[in-house]
Structure 1
């Protein structure tokens, strides 16, 4: 936990602005098509739950911070992508997608309607949406944790003398 805190403290202005901007983008990208933000283009058949906005905001903050870990400060070389970075992107993306399904209208989602029908969406999918939200938050938090730990950890290999001392 300390290494993550230290990594965040070391962030410059560029990263914090990226995190803020991507949090706002995340809110709009999910809230408009799920009709949490009312527009003439999208509508909901089922009103949003009380937890939709808090879940969306928490997910957007985590996603914004996660995206900001990929922003480089001017003059700092970026590391080559590794397997851990690919996993963080995959799980972060999955968390964002789950957020969309978690806060969306259960009977407005075409995939859910095709799979379960309208009554199945209300009977089976709607009760699962809070679980999807928690899972989304866990995936985003895991991906962010991995990225922040990797920023602070020293990637210098141990010297041959250090290996012999073990």
Structure 2
């Protein structure tokens, strides 16, 4: 990351801000009139939210092109998407999430799902960190050089 361009750092900052909003509004960590929350957020929801947003922003910046188009495959790492989804489930209200309510009901959401949310948070952050690490390692090991045309 020491060799990142201003464009990559701008993408990281913009991606972090976008992730803060995308994760914070539906989970009501950012108070808003669109969504309501039945149960107050836990103390650890805020650091998980911030860390997930920073990791997501940094991961986004690894996809910013800094030179000629690479010839290798640059598909997004699915661990990043999985990590973001897991952290969203982890910081959300257990009884406000329609998917959880459909799967386990209201009592299951409180008795079964809520205690698992810290584990989901750790798993989500770990997946985001692994995705970022993988992207940074491949960027450092595979320098992209322009293709030389032979005549």
TM-score, with normalisation over the residues of structure 1? Answer: 0.83
Structure 1 runs of 4+ with >2 Å offset: none
More helix by share: 1
Equivalent positions of 1:101-112 (< 5 A) are 101-112=89-100
RMSD: 1.4
Counterparts of 1:53 and 1:59, CA distance in 2: 10
- Name 1:28's counterpart in structure 2: 21
- Name 1:57's counterpart in structure 2: 50
**Aligned pairs, number:** 144
> Is 1:148 the counterpart of 2:136 in the alignment?
yes
TM-score, with normalisation over the residues of structure 2? Answer: 0.91
* Unmatched tracts of structure 2, length 5 or more: 145-151
Equivalent positions of 1:87-126 (< 5 A) are 89-126=77-114
- Name 1:77's counterpart in structure 2: 68
- Deviation string for 1:100-158 (max 9, x for gaps)? 100000000000000111110000000000000000111000000010011111469xx
Counterparts of 1:134 and 1:110, CA distance in 2: 22
> Is 1:39 the counterpart of 2:35 in the alignment?
no
In our comparison, the structure showing a higher alpha carbon Rg is: 1
CA displacement at 1:78 relative to structure 2? 2.8
